[in-house]
Amino acid sequence: MAAGVLVAAVLIFVGVRLVLGRSGDSGERPDQGTPGTVILVPGYGGSQVSLTRLAQVLTAAGRTATVVTLPEGGTGDLLKQSDTLDTVVRAALDGGAPSVDVIGYSAGGVVTRLWVDRHAGATVARRIITLGSPLHGANLAGAGAALAPGACPRACRQLAPGSDVLDRIDDEDLPDGLPWLSIWTSDDETVQPPESAVLDGAVNLRIQSICPSATVSHGALPTDPAVTAVVLAALGTAPLAAPVSCPV
């Protein structure tokens, strides 16, 4: 009996060590009243152009904004992409930024979620915003992985519902005290189902819930005026909350 208790205790201890070793979360959180650099993470395919206008709007609003260049054209291993994001984050912090705000568009939101889990992102990210992110997978990727795996690069396969990568983050709760806003659109033709963007522990906002007449495609999320206005407000210093009316 004593041996059984000892084994159980060891397993619990090892489990705790593994969890802490994976997340590295010290519980420390950045000052919400002191915004730092905004880092934007492109979606599948790594197109920086998709986020250029949003970065320009942020710069015009007085923020320092940088768009990540993803390795392997944004179609390679999402875990490596999260490592690249961490390199950009650490460079911003080493350059004097007090913290970072991260915006992940489409698959860039999955990269951001992996970064939080693998690189203790909650200790340096003041706020996180995701736009139309397939946080629980996209049916299109699932079909590609099943029907044409040779034409579905690694990131594509990892974005299939039920992939090892997505199961990994599904099993992890968001760190306490990490403000996260997930914006999505019911008109999303790329991320199906669109509700894949809904994340437990985050503020989840379907843009049509505040702008009922809005028609916003997946590709339009980073440039839509209402979405942009919500993003700007969310990156302020007031407590993060879903807006109650359409901002435009």
> Which string of DSSP letters, residue by residue, matches the chain?
-HHHHHHHHHHHHHHHHHHHHHH---S----TTS--EEEEE--TT--SGGGHHHHHHHHHTT--EEE---GGGGTS-HHHHHHHHHHHHHHHHHTT-S-EEEEEETHHHHHHHHHHHHTTGGGTEEEEEEES--TT--HHHHHHHHH-GGGS-HHHHHTSTT-HHHHHHHTSPPPTT--EEEEE-TT-SSSSSGGGG--TTSEEEEGGGT-TT----TTTTTT-HHHHHHHHHHTSSSPP---SS---
pLDDT (0 to 100) of residue 23: 52
Contacts 24+ apart (CB under 8 A), 136-143: 136/161, 136/166, 136/170, 136/196, 136/198, 137/161, 137/162, 137/163, 137/166, 137/196, 138/190, 138/191, 138/192, 138/196, 139/192, 139/193, 140/190, 140/191, 140/192
pTM for this entry? 0.90
What the chain holds in terms of domains, given with CATH numbers, is 34-234 (3.40.50.1820)
pLDDT digits (tens, 9 = 90+) for 145-202: 999 999 999 999 999 999 999 999 998 999 999 999 999 999 999 999 999 999 999 9
Q: Which residues contact 17 (CB under 8 A, 6 or more apart)?
A: none
Percent of the chain clearing pLDDT 70 (strictly above): 91
Mean of per-residue pLDDT scores for the chain:
91
What is the structure's pLDDT at 22?
43
Structure tokens at 59: 């710069």
pLDDT tens track for 198-237:
999 999 999 999 999 999 999 999 999 999 999 999 999 9
Among 144, 153, 184, CA closest to 74: 153
pLDDT digit string (tens) for 72-87?
Answer: 999 999 999 999 999 9
